[in-house]
């Protein structure tokens, strides 16, 4: 179609080929294929020029609109290959968002000033569904995404080790062995939180979770119970600045092999914004290394 438009504008196969940066035989062959497909000529070949046929005039007018639309789409794709022209929809799990956002957002604004963000909190499954259906651009999670379903790009960020939180009045031999903890005293988040599943696995509580009557919706709630001597819990390192800033709480390191999680940034594979998301991941890594 570009070739047909060029021939109509220049009224010459040679000049049209030069304008399109192709050889004249190649251009002529493509025009001939169009004419064969249409069943009628687009141009009358004269001795030193060409003349658009009545059908060719209609065809070229329509082709010009298609070419313009294609070029506009191409410009849009090229112009937005690096970043979307709207805020990036950033989802985080609740056991990360209140602790990491105050650290990383000032640096993200400094290092990537052209980007805007909208932030949401949700459990892992809901965040992954959001990435899959396009409701979320990137998600910061604490587990490896499932291999089935939509393909996701995964950018590892950093390891977030766990520690044991107890009441200040409790004594513990450090480092604390997870096997030494009384299962009935370990306080957990409610169903759907990946931190709950990680604590269950680390403390080998699978057989005990069904009988539990306590399940908190936030780490802050659990820490309040711990401070009052009503149990113990595992806390991620990134939460200590906020949740352990309480004289009623004591923090204990875990004996090897310990426990923890790997935080990652994920997005839909194949997105044109992958380079921007990679830069966001790198800024988060740099911010954590500087802590």
State pLDDT tens for residues 87-120.
999 999 999 999 999 999 999 999 999 899 999 9
pLDDT at 180 over 50: yes
List the structure tokens of 58: 């209609």
Question: Stretch 218-229: mean pLDDT, rounded?
Answer: 91
State the pLDDT at residue 79.
57
Q: Write the DSSP assignment of 151-202 as a string of letters.
A: -EEEEEEEEEEEEEEEETT---PSSBPGGGS-GGGB--B-TT-HHHHHHHHH
Domain ranges in the chain with CATH number 3.40.190.10: 88-153+265-289, 159-260
Q: What is the overall mean pLDDT for the chain?
A: 88
State the pLDDT at residue 282.
97
Question: Does domain 159-260 bear CATH number 3.40.190.10?
Answer: yes
Question: Does domain 88-153+265-289 bear CATH number 3.30.420.40?
Answer: no
User: Which range among 163-167, 192-196, 245-249, 264-268 shows the weakest confidence by mean pLDDT?
Assistant: 192-196
pLDDT at 144 over 90: no
- Beta pairing partners, 163: 235
* Domain range 2-79, CATH class: mainly alpha
State the pLDDT at residue 78.
59
Q: How far apart are CA 146 and CA 93, in angstroms?
A: 16
**DSSP reduced 3-state for 45:** strand
Give the best-scoring range by mean pLDDT among 140-144, 183-187, 199-203, 279-283.
279-283
Domain ranges in the chain with CATH number 1.10.10.10: 2-79
State pLDDT tens for residues 19-43.
888 899 999 999 999 999 999 999 9
CB neighbour list of residue 201: distance below 8 Å, 6 or more residues apart: none
Residue 210 pLDDT grade (very low, low, confident, very high; cuts 50, 70, 90): very low
Closest CA to 175 of 254, 251, 233: 254
State the pLDDT at residue 140.
97
Evaluate whether 137 touches 97 at the Cβ level (below 8 Å). Answer: no
pLDDT at 166 over 60: yes
């Amino acid at each position: 179609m570009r070739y047909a438009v060029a021939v109509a504008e220049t009224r010459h196969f040679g000049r049209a080929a030069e304008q399109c940066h192709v050889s004249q035989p190649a251009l002529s062959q493509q025009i001939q294929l169009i004419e064969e497909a249409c069943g009628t000529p687009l141009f009358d070949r004269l001795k030193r020029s060409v003349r658009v046929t009545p059908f060719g005039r209609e065809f070229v007018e329509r082709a010009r609109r298609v070419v313009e639309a294609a070029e506009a789409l191409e410009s849009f794709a090229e112009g937005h290959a690096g970043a979307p022209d709207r805020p990036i929809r950033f989802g985080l799990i609740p056991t990360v968002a209140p602790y990491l956002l105050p650290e990383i957002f000032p640096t993200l604004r400094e290092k990537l000033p052209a980007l805007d963000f909208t932030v949401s909190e949700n459990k892992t499954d809901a965040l992954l569904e959001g990435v899959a259906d396009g409701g979320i651009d990137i998600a910061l999670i604490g587990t490896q995404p499932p291999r089935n379903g939509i393909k996701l790009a995964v950018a590892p960020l950093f390891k977030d080790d766990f520690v044991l939180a107890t009441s200040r009045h409790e004594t513990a031999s450090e480092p604390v062995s997870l096997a030494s903890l009384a299962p009935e005293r370990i306080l957990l988040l409610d169903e759907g939180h990946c931190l709950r599943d990680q604590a269950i696995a680390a403390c080998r509580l699978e057989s005990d979770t069904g009988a539990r009557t306590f399940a908190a919706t936030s780490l802050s709630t659990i820490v309040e119970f711990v401070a009052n001597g009503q149990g113990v819990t595992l806390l991620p390192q990134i939460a200590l600045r906020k949740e352990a800033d309480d004289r009623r709480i004591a923090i204990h390191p875990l004996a090897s092999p310990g426990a923890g999680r790997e935080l990652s940034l994920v997005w839909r594979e194949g997105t044109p914004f992958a380079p921007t998301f990679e830069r966001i991941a790198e800024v988060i890594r740099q911010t954590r290394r500087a802590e």
